[in-house]
């Protein structure tokens, strides 16, 4: 049984990037026993000697904490482990973690994308806690992190079972930002997956900020098709897609037909584009740094399951293939790619 709050919960954070580092700093600042794993030895030493400095919308904070540079050096007594590495590296890290987890340790997936099932195959379904990170952060340099937007966490049992342990996770994550418990975390994760497959994947293909993308009528039609195809796959997976952030009900958004409904849909996306006009695709940023994207856990999750259930997802397939070609150096990032996506 995991202890409550400051009375003894021991937290591990694997991944010292923007999200993981900020979580570790706020949880440690609350008086919790925290150990962070950074893949860089000098980074780990700096965390212990000088601390992690956080700036941004919640103010400034500097916190020193225990840090190691290898998963193999992680303490074996962690009750909750926040997994903050990129989806592209999470399977390798998860395999390394197994000997250092207690039988009742909980691993909270902070990844971008639909990663919980893949983690559960490695760690076991009882260990993995689904989580949506609904806020933004940037790493300016090692140990210098900024919380760029507010929001919340949503956590849940990946089998949608009642799980009293979730209140323990909620208590810990509340030290960072408000945390909700979901009775349908896969539905919440899929709702976020759909919008990420629009914004993140299409952004990687064209190289534009969100405002620039959604000012283009063709991109808005691409978004509609991605959503429609993704909902068909959700039916096959028996996932009830939740309302995204309590605002976007994909079914209602797409079901209405007619001239006025079409105008309303386009206007809604134009408003989103204006509000978040400087949002830059995380996959685009990865490509610009010469790194692989998390596409396999975003659009790739949709296309792989579409193939499994013989569902037609032509627009998602094209976007996925384009991102893979860019990763392999076979295609340039360009707005011209948008014109090559067939909407038929």
Q: What is the CATH number of the domain that holds 29?
A: 3.40.50.720
Contact between 172 and 27 (Cβ < 8 Å): yes
Q: Tell whether 168 and 22 lie within a shared domain.
A: yes
- Tell me: do 274 and 198 sit in the same domain: yes
In this structure, the answer to whether residues 307 and 175 fall within a common structural domain is no
Task: Provide the CATH number for the domain around residue 320.
Answer: 1.10.1040.10
Q: Is residue 344 part of a domain?
A: no
Do 265 and 226 share a structural domain?
A: yes
pTM of the predicted protein model = 0.90
For the cut 50, the answer to whether the pLDDT of residue 2 exceeds it is no
Same domain, 140 and 279: no
Which strand ranges, in their side-by-side order, compose the sheet holding 136-141? Answer: 61-63, 52-56, 144-149, 136-141
Classify strands 66-68 and 144-149 as parallel, antiparallel or unpaired.
unpaired
Find the domain containing 221 and state its range: 187-339
> What is the residue-averaged pLDDT of the chain?
93
* Structure confidence at residue 330 as a pLDDT band (50, 70, 90): very high
Structure tokens given for 47: 């965390």
Average pLDDT over residues 161-178: 95
pLDDT of 5 > 80? The answer is no
Instruction: Tell me, yes or no, whether 98 and 237 share the same domain.
Output: no
Q: Which of 146, 164, 183 is the last residue of a domain?
A: 183
- Asked whether residue 159 is assigned to any structural domain, the reply reads yes
Number of domains in the chain: 2
Helix, coil or strand: residue 265: helix
Has residue 210 been placed in a domain? yes
């Amino acid at each position: 049984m995991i202890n409550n709050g400051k009375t003894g919960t021991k937290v591990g954070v694997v991944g010292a990037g923007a999200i993981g580092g900020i979580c570790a700093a706020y949880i440690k600042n609350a008086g919790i026993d925290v150990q962070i794993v950074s893949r860089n030895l000098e980074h780990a030493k700096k965390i212990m000697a000088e601390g992690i400095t956080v700036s941004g919308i919640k103010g400034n904070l500097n916190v020193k904490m225990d840090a190691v540079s290898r998963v193999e050096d992680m303490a074996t007594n962690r009750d909750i482990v926040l997994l903050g590495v990129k989806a592209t590296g999470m399977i390798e890290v998860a395999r390394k973690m197994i000997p250092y987890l207690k039988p009742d340790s909980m691993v909270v997936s902070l990844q971008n994308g639909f990663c919980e099932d893949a983690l559960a195959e490695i760690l076991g379904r009882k260990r993995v806690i689904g989580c949506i990170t609904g806020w933004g952060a940037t790493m300016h340099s090692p140990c210098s992190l900024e919380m760029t937007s507010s929001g919340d966490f949503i956590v849940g049992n990946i089998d949608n079972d009642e799980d009293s342990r979730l209140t323990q996770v909620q208590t810990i994550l509340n030290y960072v930002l408000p945390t909700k418990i979901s009775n349908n975390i896969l539905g919440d994760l899929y709702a976020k997956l759909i919008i990420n497959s629009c914004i993140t994947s299409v952004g990687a293909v064209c190289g534009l900020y969100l405002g620039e993308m959604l000012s283009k009528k063709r991109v808005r039609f691409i978004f509609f098709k991605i959503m429609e195809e993704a909902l068909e796959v959700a039916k096959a997976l028996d996932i009830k897609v939740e309302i995204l952030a309590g605002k976007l009900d994909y079914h209602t958004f797409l079901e209405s037909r007619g001239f006025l409904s079409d105008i309303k849909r386009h206007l809604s996306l134009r408003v989103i584009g204006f509000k978040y006009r400087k949002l830059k695709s995380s996959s685009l940023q990865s490509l610009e740094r010469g790194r692989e994207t998390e596409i396999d856990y975003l659009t790739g999750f949709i296309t792989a399951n579409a193939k499994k259930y013989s569902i037609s997802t032509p627009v998602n397939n094209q976007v996925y293939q384009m991102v893979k070609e860019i990763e392999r150096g076979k295609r340039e990032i360009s707005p011209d790619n948008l014109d090559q996506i067939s909407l038929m």
